[in-house]
């Protein structure tokens, strides 16, 4: 087995949504030889910009970014494909003499690449998926829970996309979805830093303020244009913000109610993301309600400069 200290290092800035991950990553990449690899399942898609807090054109040009704007909204993009392409990016970045910096809050993407999860190679079966449309999400989830309780533990009961995918893999392979995700040794070591809040009310207020900014800066028009071009795709319905704007356009309630709906459902997303990250004891957490943005940025810089990631004791999310 290769000595851990002799391996090259991949850095990761992770955490729930609305915690300044992208901004801090960009500041790091300005100062150090990092190239950013997005680990956000919605930044993959073109034209979904405002509601995903996608880095601006200037930011994308300022420092190297990867795994952003790869697919049209109507195209399927799987975690298996993400894993394959992200691992290629990591190898290429190392070969160029730079350091990979993964940034995002999509736990499945991060775990597939940085925890060595082996994703089952099962192609989407459109015929099987059409059959499943005859059932409600509640019925599908109950079936998954019966067939593979461990898979149901990590898939939210309202997540139709991942429920269908798990059932598809189970029926096509005749094996449990939860057991197909084997773990293999990584060819690199990983340094993790997490950004989050201890105070949920402070975090919720940040989320609300961001939703208000979205609505002032053209988010509703962005969703209108996407619907006109692609129709009411499942991707839009299951993406927080986009789904709420769809409802707003149909029911014509006021924007204050829209902001509250986005805030509430984003808060629920934060809880699910926190569950993902809680199981990873390698993450060193920085709490944004205990330090200013500038102090947090300085602390992250110090971790990188002093190599303190590996030596700092892990702190679990409370």
Q: Tens digit of pLDDT for each residue in 209-260?
A: 999 999 999 999 999 999 999 999 989 998 999 999 999 999 988 999 999 9
pLDDT at 183: 62
At 6 the pLDDT is 58
Spans of the chain, pLDDT less than 70: 1-6, 119-121, 180-183, 306-318
Which CATH number describes the domain made up of 120-180? 1.10.20.140
Question: Cα 261 to the chain's mean position, in Å?
Answer: 20
- Domain locations in the chain as residue ranges: 120-180, 202-267
Residue 246 dihedral angles phi and psi, to the nearest 5°: -55, -45
Provide the pLDDT for residue 62: 93
pLDDT at res. 80: 85
Domains 120-180 and 202-267 in one fold: no
Task: Give me the pLDDT at residue 179, please.
Answer: 72
**CATH of 202-267 among 2.40.50.220, 3.40.50.150, 1.10.287.890, 3.40.50.720:** 1.10.287.890
Lateral strand order in the sheet of 65-66: 65-66, 34-38, 99-104, 9-14, 189-196, 284-287
Angle at which helices 107-114 and 79-95 cross, to 10°: 50
């Amino acid at each position: 087995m290769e000595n851990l200290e002799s391996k090259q290092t991949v850095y990761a800035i992770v955490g729930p949504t609305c915690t300044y991950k992208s901004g801090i990553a960009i500041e790091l990449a300005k100062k150090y030889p990092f190239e950013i690899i997005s680990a956000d399942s919605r930044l993959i898609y073109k034209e979904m910009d405002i509601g995903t807090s996608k880095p601006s054109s200037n930011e994308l040009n300022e420092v190297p970014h990867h795994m952003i704007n790869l697919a049209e909204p109507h195209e399927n993009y799987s975690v298996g494909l993400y894993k394959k392409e992200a691992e290629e990016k990591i190898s290429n970045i190392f070969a160029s003499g730079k350091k990979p910096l993964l940034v995002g809050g999509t736990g499945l993407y991060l775990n597939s690449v940085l925890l060595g999860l082996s994703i089952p190679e099962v192609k989407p079966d459109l015929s099987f998926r059409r059959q499943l449309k005859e059932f409600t999400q509640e019925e599908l989830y109950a079936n998954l829970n019966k067939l593979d309780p461990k898979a149901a533990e990590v898939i939210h009961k309202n997540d139709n996309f991942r429920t269908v995918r798990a059932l598809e893999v189970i029926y096509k392979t005749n094996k449990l979805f939860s057991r197909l995700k084997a773990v293999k040794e990584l060819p690199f070591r990983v340094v993790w830093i997490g950004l989050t809040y201890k105070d949920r009310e402070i975090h919720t207020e940040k989320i609300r303020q961001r939703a208000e900014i979205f609505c002032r800066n053209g988010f509703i028009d962005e969703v209108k244009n996407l619907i006109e071009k692609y129709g009411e795709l499942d991707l839009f319905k299951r993406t927080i913000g986009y789904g709420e704007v769809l409802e707003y356009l149909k029911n014509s309630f006021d924007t204050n109610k829209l902001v509250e709906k986005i805030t509430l459902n984003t808060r629920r997303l934060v809880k699910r993301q926190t569950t993902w990250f809680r199981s990873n004891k390698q993450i060193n957490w920085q709490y944004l309600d205990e330090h200013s943005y500038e102090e947090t940025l300085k602390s992250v810089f110090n971790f990188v400069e002093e190599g303190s990631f590996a030596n700092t004791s892990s702190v679990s999310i409370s």
